[in-house]
Structure 1
């Protein structure tokens, strides 16, 4: 391969790189965030637990993270069926 062929190949690659860097993003703008983990340790036994919506009881020791009490809502009414 001669030196002129190498120059053509390099300029073609450079053109591709330039086109790729100038290309517009069709979706939403990319947001760069610091990586993080949502972790909650059980205060009773110290077991590491991933935070999940609706987590109320520790699976290891049974500690209650929160007590949920139902009250009258917009669409659902509390009834006393004792």
Structure 2
């Protein structure tokens, strides 16, 4: 063995080695054509970006989605004191 093989790697060399061997967190890159999704307001015709969280038109206050929030299902602890 050579003397260079016995010396530990420097911090910079370890960082370079880690950068080369790491895998992408998001998985493989999927290439798609550029696109624009737009939806017009049925009340006033104003264009808006098709965003899932947008429920009211910014221009005429038309309600796209009526969302009713509830507490959901509540599970209560049973009281088994006999």
TM-score (norm. length: structure 2): 0.49
TM-score (norm. length: structure 1): 0.49
Q: Greater helix share, 1 or 2?
A: 1
